[in-house]
Structure 1
């Protein structure tokens, strides 16, 4: 607390006052951001959480501090809202496209390029947009959500690798269409709730060829994007499909999409399996670097996502438990952690965020796979 704010009992707070602190729910998610004007409905929520006192901006500092807070918080929130709108539009477009592809191989390429361009523009203007991948996903919408997520993850890697805008556009188009051939695979096989037989798996593997053939009927889509659709299941050790290519024969875009594809698949709920923690998915990809995935691209991916991805629950050497809320791309083992459980084992109500990179005495000692908050 500084001289711009005062701690006030909630019973004395009135609508129109400016909130001087973030208000979190029991899971550490921000409910109300500092800098907003309080409404009666907000007050009720604060009381329901059992909070007795909050920080309020002093009247003489209303304008300057409110504007400062809006710059810090509102703008970032606005970016994320725009990005969620872009994701929904992309998901709706790919769903409509894939559902009609069985009857009509024509793709609205102009609209497709606009969709991917919008995703790319959002990513380039917001370094923290990767956080929004942690939203809830519907199992029955998996194919369409997955296509968009793979596009986003692939572009994040491409941006990190320094690709040009045009290169990123080709990468994004190939990524968002990578599974388009699955629409030609019988649904009873695609959505089978148990292991596939060898014959069924052979049918599923043909989706890469089906997809490539569909893309080739749309002349405005580049051959590079088409190759992503065809080759995203090729592997450096030569054990992938459909052509059994080895490391040097696989286009780098296909190598990128291969990693994004597996990561999103592992961290999503499916009809036949539950998702794994992001940390476990990253560990799997890391251990498969060299055989299943390109080593250098895996390094770049881990740098982008972080050793402890956003949303991970970790224990610190202070015996506190916290939620990873941001990553450090240059020091992935030193993220920003929001403290949820104090070193006395009790839930905290006034959350603080610790930047481990700026606190050399603080370190993560373990990842907590299951924790009741």
Structure 2
């Protein structure tokens, strides 16, 4: 069997720090050549050589993914806890790492990659709950396209930031467990055929059933990975429920829907409204929030929405 390679973002490799494993370059589809040996210092000259070639990625052998992930988490923890590093640089570091690890998890949702993603989410959540300026930078860094892993990264950032506002000072809420649920809420979408996921027109009844199945598919994938928590279970299963009972998969009504799911639902709707999708043009933040206030928010959502609006002030 041919060796499998995984992409690593150039931005996650730290200057003057030893490469965590052998690094490779892609010269064409499924063809990789050796670039740098494990232990070699990754300096600016090396980075510039890669950029000059028109690439922003290097590659590692899949068998060394755990080794690289440990390096990445160690690097992020060091950056996040270093008072000399500015908030914008901390935000950029965790944002890049989240996008990379979630892309891998959504493209190949094996337990090993889901576990690695959750490891990287830990310093990300810690940054959001401890640094207001970094959180503002993270919110401004959110990029809007129709990739599910980008959507999930954005929703995770919005949701943890909102949970911090709503539950400030209440230690009974486990932010790390919430983070796993928020960032993996749409994992089941990786099973939806791309032609349905990106369909520009109305879905047929059959296609809608396939899309709605992503909730249970995502639940089953996280459950089978051994990473399920009570918080993640609630978020994944309830984030498409509606107060009027017309949501899915269990048609829950107002008082049956957990606040965690409400947080995720509002962040999910906002992200969808502000992203370019095949079936609609993106709205500005103001337009999206105005639409949500007029057409989405019901009585039980009022307090959650008031907190959500605060994320976009100043």
User: Smaller-chain TM-score range?
Assistant: 0.5 to 0.7
Bigger-Rg structure (1/2): 1
- In the aligned structure 2, how far is the partner of 1:86 from the partner of 1:227? 25
- SS of aligned partner of 2:174: helix
Structure 2 match to 1:240: 247
- In the aligned structure 1, how far is the partner of 2:104 from the partner of 2:87? 26
Length-normalised TM-score, structure 1: 0.57
More helix by share: 2
Structure 2 match to 1:45: none
- In the aligned structure 1, how far is the partner of 2:216 from the partner of 2:130? 35
Shift in alpha-carbon separation, 1:107–1:174, aligned structure 2, 3 A: farther
Length-normalised TM-score, structure 2: 0.67
8 Å CA contact 1:109, 1:221 repeated in 2: no
Please show how residues 77-96 of structure 1 align to structure 2 within 5 Å.
78-96=86-104
- In the aligned structure 1, how far is the partner of 2:108 from the partner of 2:125? 25
8 Å CA contact 2:274, 2:285 repeated in 1: yes
Kindly indicate whether structure 1 or structure 2 has the higher relative contact order, using CA contacts under 8 Å at least 6 residues apart. 2
1:111 pairs, out of 116, 130, 146, with 116
Count of residues in correspondence between the two structures: 228
Structure 2 match to 1:151: 156
Q: Does 2:108 correspond to 1:100?
A: yes
1:226-267 deviation line (CA, Å, top 9, x unaligned)? 221121100122111111101211121111000011111111
Structure 1 match to 2:7: none
8 Å CA contact 2:216, 2:237 repeated in 1: yes
Structure 2 match to 1:130: 136
- In the aligned structure 2, how far is the partner of 1:226 from the partner of 1:107? 19
1:155-186 deviation line (CA, Å, top 9, x unaligned)? 11110012538621121111100110001111
Structure 2 match to 1:193: 200
Structure 1 match to 2:33: none
- In the aligned structure 1, how far is the partner of 2:242 from the partner of 2:200? 26
Q: Does 2:276 correspond to 1:269?
A: yes
- SS of aligned partner of 2:291: helix
Structure 1 match to 2:227: 220
1:124-143 deviation line (CA, Å, top 9, x unaligned)? 33213234433473636x21
- In the aligned structure 1, how far is the partner of 2:171 from the partner of 2:157? 16
1:91-111 deviation line (CA, Å, top 9, x unaligned)? 11111111112xx4x244553
Q: Give ranges in structure 2 of 5+ residues lacking alignment.
A: 1-82
8 Å CA contact 1:181, 1:209 repeated in 2: yes
Shift in alpha-carbon separation, 1:107–1:181, aligned structure 2, 3 A: farther
Aligned-pair distance for 1:285?
Answer: 1.9
8 Å CA contact 1:139, 1:271 repeated in 2: no
Structure 1 match to 2:311: 304
Structure 1 match to 2:292: 285
8 Å CA contact 2:91, 2:137 repeated in 1: no
Q: Give ranges in structure 1 of 5+ residues lacking alignment.
A: 1-74, 307-325, 327-373
Task: State the superposition RMSD in angstroms.
Answer: 2.3
